[in-house]
Amino acid sequence: MAKLIKDGTVSLDTCPTVSAFAAAVGKKEGEGPLSGCFDYIAEDVTLGESSWEKSESKLQQIALGTALSKGGFSEKNIDVIFAGDLLNQCVSSSYGARDTHIPFMGLFGACSTMAEGLCLASVFVDSGAAVNAAAVTSSHFCSAERQFRLPVNYGGQRTPTAQWTATAAGCAVISPHGKPPYVRAVTIGKIKDMGITDANNMGAAMAAAAYDTISRHLSNTNQSIDDFDLILTGDLGKVGRDILIELFKKDNVDMTEKHNDCGIMLYDIEKQDVHAGGSGCGCSASVLCGHILKEIQEGRLNKVLFAATGALMSPTIVQQGESIPGISHAVELSGK
Amino acid sequence: MAKLIKDGTVSLDTCPTVSAFAAAVGKKEGEGPLSGCFDYIAEDVTLGESSWEKSESKLQQIALGTALSKGGFSEKNIDVIFAGDLLNQCVSSSYGARDTHIPFMGLFGACSTMAEGLCLASVFVDSGAAVNAAAVTSSHFCSAERQFRLPVNYGGQRTPTAQWTATAAGCAVISPHGKPPYVRAVTIGKIKDMGITDANNMGAAMAAAAYDTISRHLSNTNQSIDDFDLILTGDLGKVGRDILIELFKKDNVDMTEKHNDCGIMLYDIEKQDVHAGGSGCGCSASVLCGHILKEIQEGRLNKVLFAATGALMSPTIVQQGESIPGISHAVELSGK
């Protein structure tokens, strides 16, 4: 059962398994380097809906529905959904799950939501509070642009440090027994603020949180990066990755080879013109649920530390001159 | 340890205790019928801050700090904070906790957040994933009015079914051993949509969710309302309370005497001109943490089912013509 090791790290002694997972993405994401990995690629960004918010909800419904169906689950088998997203009042999650009859817990972890949901689902399953628990999240380029930046039609110039909000959703179901991937331990994030006030430089705002969580996880579990095949952050992009590597260098740890970032993996950064890389709750969720979990399942990766990162700001508070706090939650996944 | 009974209800066999709690409120709330119950009453709605969002963060900091100090806890004793609020991207919670070094999990449950946080904190403590876990939430009249309705200075006319967003925050710390109140069981809410499209009639939008959760809790735990001293909803207000009572009448259950609502208790509805009653995450949080927990602790109440309710809409999605889904999470508190 769940056991607090220390300082936010919880070991899951029953080793809950990721029993089913699915990723649904937009057209642009479906044209990227992970093209062959996704369960669903939308033909256009509307998904046939009348608003961007509803398109995003639909993407979340597709990810949830596909994961359940791939795992042979019906709605009745799922004891709780942990879901959240970037939209005001997290409406793509609540409207996405509205037609289900599954107990629902709403989260807000910005782009760290997939890891937050997996932490909670794993603790619930490990402790017996749920048999099967799902973590779901999404983002949508157009709903996010309008809400956080400018209407898409305005065609505003993007800065070099800006990231591209992914149109994507992912869902993973955690269950008590079964085949790998297993969840071995989780580390809950702390809020870290590097004083960044530029809302177009999220990677920099989140790097310190990723560094703190990854360091704590390794130290609390008595492991080093050598024990892992991959340290996978979510959405730091190129700018944030460079900062993360610098931060670890100060501890004499060279993260260069072991680290990758979902925001860098989802797109061909140069060809697809996404500047510093991808972002959005759906970015790390779709890379994890489309690609990484399969790599673990099929033995090409064994041990992965998935540390999704989120920037916990709102446009209102940034306009008030506040700096942007980041958070990162970590999930240790393993093939054995 | 935590055990799923069925359909969203989890029993907590170690009976975690609410080891510390505090409520901080605004001036108007401090002039209401529960005036003598609060740990802190602000002299004005700004709390000395330069924006409503920062005032709300401050209120949350005061509630957390006071609860820790009343319980003799330092930050290091708290293994995780579960916090959320109504603001876009839940900024009053993340900026409220930014200066702490406590592992943080952000929630979005609208006005049901206090119950959602208590469910999670109780499962974490019961399962051993945390020794001490805090649930914190807040709302602020002025930040909510501007965001959901109109700028306060506009002086818009309020409809009779409208509720008054409380300027208030509450914090409760869950621990494994100690004196009552105990958390015996929790029921996770399902999303219920009655087709209400009027954002000034939240009580009606949330009543079905409260009915569903309370019914499930009673049925899953083999109890009836006779086993409880109080069934306490959060923020249904007068309109929602009447609907809830009607819904239970169809099951031949008369809820009239056993039920009360935090939105009705926080204000003198007539004299303080709050129309259908109070609302906001801080409403049920402050009534629970200022008044109810003390009543249980001091033996005036024994068994209470706290079922906070939330409306999971955003202004954007309501403007798109969507109806408003509600949710309610329940926490069974007991003095023995």
Give the pLDDT band (50/70/90) at residue A154. Answer: confident
Is A13 near chain B, with CB under 8 Å? no
Closest CA to A137 of A71, A197, A61: A61
Q: Which residues are bridge partners to A273 per DSSP? A: none
Is A110 near chain B, with CB under 8 Å? yes
Contact A93, A106 (CB under 8 A): yes
Question: What is the number of helices (H) and of strands (E) in chain A?
Answer: 11, 16
The pLDDT assigned to B177 comes to 83
Cα distance between residue A8 and residue A6, in whole Å: 6
Give the one of B108, B129, B329 whose C-beta lies nearest to A4's C-beta. B129
Q: Where are the alpha helices (DSSP H) in chain B?
A: 27-30, 52-70, 91-97, 113-127, 141-148, 202-220, 237-249, 262-265, 281-287, 293-297, 315-319
Give the one of A89, A124, A322 whose C-beta lies nearest to B110's C-beta. A89
Q: Do B89 and A84 touch (CB under 8 A)?
A: no
Cα distance between residue B126 and residue B102, in whole Å: 19
The answer to whether the Cα torsion of A281, A284, A287, A290 is positive or negative is negative
The pLDDT assigned to B1 comes to 77
* Strand B17-25 with B9-12, pairing: unpaired
Task: Tell me what percent of the residues of chain A surpass a pLDDT of 70.
Answer: 100
Scan residues 192-231 of A and list those with Cβ closer than 8 Å to B. Answer: 193
Element of type H or E holding A307 = strand A303-311
pTM of the prediction? 0.98
Cα distance between residue B197 and residue B174, in whole Å: 37
The pLDDT assigned to A150 comes to 85
The whole-angstrom distance between A151's CA and the closest CA on chain B is 14
Q: Which residues are bridge partners to A231 per DSSP? A: A259, A305
The pLDDT assigned to A27 comes to 97
| Size of the A and B interface in Cβ pairs below 8 Å | 200
The pLDDT tens digits for B55-99 are 999 999 999 999 999 999 999 999 999 999 999 999 999 999 999
Q: Do B327 and A120 touch (CB under 8 A)?
A: no
Query: DSSP string covering A23-34, please?
Result: EEE-HHHHTSTT
Is B271 near chain A, with CB under 8 Å? no
Task: Return the structure tokens found at A207.
Answer: 């790097």
- CA–chain centroid gap for A142, Å, is 19
The pLDDT assigned to B187 comes to 98
Closest CA to B170 of B303, B292, B75, B273: B292
Query: DSSP string covering B285-309, please?
Result: HHHIIIIIHHHHHTTS--EEEEEEE
The pLDDT assigned to A88 comes to 96
Average pLDDT, chain A: 96
pLDDT at A131 over 90: yes
Task: Return the structure tokens found at A151.
Answer: 């209407």
Cα distance between residue B319 and residue B197, in whole Å: 9
Contact B190, B215 (CB under 8 A): no
Q: Which residues are bridge partners to B12 per DSSP? A: B2
Contact B20, B170 (CB under 8 A): no
Chain B residue nearest residue A144, CA to CA: B89
CB-based burial, A127-153: b 16+ in 10 Å, e otherwise: bbbbbbbbbbbbbbbbbbbbbbbeeee
**Which positions in chain A touch B8 (Cβ < 8 Å)?**
79-80, 103
**SS3 (DSSP) at B329:** strand
The pLDDT tens digits for A241-290 are 999 999 999 999 999 999 999 999 999 999 999 999 999 999 999 999 99
Report DSSP state, residue B324.
Answer: -
Please state the ipTM of this predicted complex.
0.97
Cα distance between residue B166 and residue B142, in whole Å: 9
**SS3 (DSSP) at B228:** coil
Closest CA to A324 of A316, A333, A335, A334: A316
Exposed/middle/buried for residue A117 (C-beta within 10 Å: 0-12, 13-18, 19+): buried
**Alpha carbon distance, N-terminus to C-terminus of chain A:** 18
Query: From the CA atom positions of chain B, what is the Rg in Å?
Result: 18
The pLDDT assigned to A281 comes to 97
**Which positions in chain B touch A87 (Cβ < 8 Å)?**
314, 316
pLDDT at A30 over 80: yes
Cα distance between residue B225 and residue B213, in whole Å: 13
Backbone angles phi, psi at B59, to 5 degrees: -60, -40
Give the one of A88, A187, A322 whose C-beta lies nearest to B88's C-beta. A88
Give the one of B8, B89, B110 whose C-beta lies nearest to A312's C-beta. B89
Exposed/middle/buried for residue B14 (C-beta within 10 Å: 0-12, 13-18, 19+): middle
How crowded is residue B250: how many other Cβ atoms within 10 Å of its Cβ? 8
Task: Return the structure tokens found at B188.
Answer: 């996770």
Cα distance between residue A93 and residue A74, in whole Å: 19
**Alpha carbon distance, N-terminus to C-terminus of chain B:** 18
Task: Return the structure tokens found at A255.
Answer: 């993260």
Q: Do B127 and A128 touch (CB under 8 A)?
A: yes
The whole-angstrom distance between B35's CA and the closest CA on chain A is 31
Cα distance between residue B316 and residue B69, in whole Å: 40
**Which positions in chain B touch A94 (Cβ < 8 Å)?**
191, 312, 325, 327
Give the one of B10, B50, B313 whose C-beta lies nearest to A89's C-beta. B313
Q: Which residues are bridge partners to B165 per DSSP? A: B279
Contact B193, B325 (CB under 8 A): yes
Give the pLDDT band (50/70/90) at residue A177. Answer: confident
Is A3 near chain B, with CB under 8 Å? yes
The whole-angstrom distance between B300's CA and the closest CA on chain A is 31
The pLDDT assigned to A22 comes to 98
Give the one of A8, A95, A104 whose C-beta lies nearest to B327's C-beta. A104
In the chain, the amino acid numbered A8 is: G
Q: Do A128 and B312 touch (CB under 8 A)?
A: no
Is B252 near chain A, with CB under 8 Å? no
pLDDT at A200 over 90: no
Task: Return the structure tokens found at B255.
Answer: 């809820």
Consecutive 10-residue runs of chain B (336 residues): their mean pLDDT? Answer: 94 96 98 97 96 97 98 98 97 96 98 98 98 98 91 86 95 95 98 92 93 98 98 95 97 97 96 93 98 98 98 94 97 97
**Which positions in chain A touch B126 (Cβ < 8 Å)?**
127
Interface test with B, best of A52, A60, A88 (most B CBs within 10 A): A88
Contact A234, A283 (CB under 8 A): yes
Scan residues 121-140 of B and list those with Cβ closer than 8 Å to A. Answer: 123-124, 126-131
